[in-house]
């Protein structure tokens, strides 16, 4: 009996993944509007990449989203180290809290940008709520090794953070 691959429904895939993809990127990119732009870019690349459709769509999307955001983070780190901290992040109760929270975010982002790309991707995907299986699928890893690799990534993160900012 002839079998035929189901037609690709981009809109369904978009609605299933867009919000989460945008949030993954927004963890790395301070500007939410910019995070949305990058999410659009990732989804458009997904649309134009037929081999990414199907069962592996989620893995492809999260991997691309994390890589895109880390690249953006590194690019911005090189190009605008003097950028003001006064950008809007709604929700902080006092100006001092806002300043402190943003400073901590900047420290984390700086450390992520300094880490090995694969370790940064692991940390970001896991902290975005993906399961070990989802992380393994996104980064093309053996699921059994994700725990070990994640532990090493955390050690690297801690070491780099303390080296730069001390034990806060």
Q: Which residues bind other proteins (CB under 8 A)?
A: 11, 14-15, 18-19, 22-23, 26-28, 32, 35-36, 39-41, 43-44, 47-48, 89-91, 101, 104-105, 107-109, 123-124, 126-127, 129, 150-151, 154-155, 157-158, 161
Burial class (CB in 10 A: 0-12, 13-18, 19+), 71: middle
The DSSP secondary-structure symbol of 68 reads H
From 81, 97, 7, select the one nearest 50 (Cα to Cα): 7
Q: How far is the CB of 79 from other proteins (least distance, A)?
A: 20
When the beta carbons of 54 and 148 are compared against other proteins, the nearer one is 148
Q: How far is the CB of 166 from other proteins (least distance, A)?
A: 13
48 φ/ψ angles, rounded to the nearest 5 degrees = -85, 5
Q: How far is the CB of 44 from other proteins (least distance, A)?
A: 5
When the beta carbons of 1 and 72 are compared against other proteins, the nearer one is 72
Token readout for 25 is 């990127």
Q: How far is the CB of 105 from other proteins (least distance, A)?
A: 6
Q: How far apart are CA 124 and CA 67, in angstroms?
A: 10
Token readout for 165 is 């900012």
Q: How far is the CB of 56 from other proteins (least distance, A)?
A: 20
When the beta carbons of 117 and 154 are compared against other proteins, the nearer one is 154
Token readout for 41 is 């870019």
* C-alpha angle 74-77-79 in degrees, rounded to nearest 5: 110
Owner of token pair 């079998």: 3
């Amino acid at each position: 009996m002839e079998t035929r691959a189901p037609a690709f429904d981009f809109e369904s895939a978009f609605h299933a993944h867009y919000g989460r993809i945008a949030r993954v990127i927004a963890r790395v990119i301070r500007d939410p509007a910019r995070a949305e732009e990058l999410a659009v870019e990732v989804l458009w690349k997904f649309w134009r990449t037929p081999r990414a459709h199907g069962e592996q769509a989620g893995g492809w999307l999260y991997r691309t989203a994390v890589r895109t955001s880390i690249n953006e983070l590194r690019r911005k780190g090189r190009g605008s180290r003097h950028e003001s901290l006064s950008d809007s992040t709604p929700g902080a109760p006092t100006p001092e809290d806002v300043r402190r929270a943003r400073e901590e975010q900047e420290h984390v982002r700086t450390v992520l940008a300094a880490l090995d790309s694969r370790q940064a991707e692991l940390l970001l995907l896991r902290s975005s709520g993906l399961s070990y299986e989802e992380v393994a699928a996104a980064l093309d890893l053996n699921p059994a090794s994700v725990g070990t690799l994640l532990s090493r990534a955390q050690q690297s993160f801690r070491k780099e953070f303390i080296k730069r900012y001390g034990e806060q």
